[in-house]
Amino acid sequence: MDTQADRYFLVPEEIGPALLRLWNCEPAEERDLRDLGRLKSTGVVVTDCEAPRRNFNPSTIILPSSELTELEPTQRRRIDAARAAAYQLKAWLGIRMRPMFEILADLGPTSALPDSTEAADARLLPIAAAFRATTGIFRQQDQCLPRSIAFKRMCMASGLRVSLVIGVTLDPFSAHAWVQSGGRVLNDTLERVRCFTPIFSA
């Protein structure tokens, strides 16, 4: 995922190692020049670029394995729903007015240590309930990115460490975004997100 140019591209499996060596400034192997030449011809790799590198470093993404569930119905407070709506409106406007790289950078690094304690769940469940309460205002179809950005921001404001994950399917091509705490999906269903291969987290 090229966050600076806001685009996705699929690198052939045999070229992947050469691209990673280039990214990590490691010594090139004999076939790397040929492989990277193929990427240069399509604009994926450029040379003599004066602009500093602004994309994110490759990160390890924890595969989703469970989802946030309510043992008892969570009380939905109007103030929480109003905050969720405000966060979503801000995210929706931001996507249209700011480069994607800046938005993702503001979200901070991926959380390596999941908050899965009972105390964390006591804060997560009301946030999840608040976002469900806004589905009548903000449609869920094709709005997964602003909803997930907003969800993470609201979690951050509550002191919760979560990760925004972006995944894709190839045939046909489709992209999706959701929020995880470790391997637990917070704002979507495990069944849905398992259809996508995670390629980025923030």
CA atoms 24, 28, 29, 31: torsion sign:
positive
Block residue for tokens 């800046």: 102
So what's the pLDDT on residue 130? 92
The CA distance from 115 to 109, in Å, is 15
Q: Which contacts of 75-79 are long-range, i.e. CB under 8 A and separated by 24 or more positions?
A: 75/126, 75/129, 76/126, 76/129, 76/130, 76/132, 76/133, 77/126, 77/130
Structure tokens at 24: 């990590």
Rounded to a whole number of angstroms, the distance between the first and last alpha carbons of the chain is 12
pLDDT, averaged per 10 consecutive residues of the chain (202 residues), comes to: 66 74 75 76 62 55 86 71 94 91 80 63 90 82 90 92 91 90 92 92 87
Domain boundaries, the chain: 1-55, 66-201
Share of the chain above pLDDT 70, in %: 76
**Alpha-carbon torsion 152, 156, 158, 160, what sign?**
positive
**CA-wise closest residue to 147 among 159, 164, 169:** 164
pLDDT of residue 48: 55
pTM of the model: 0.77
pLDDT of residue 137: 80
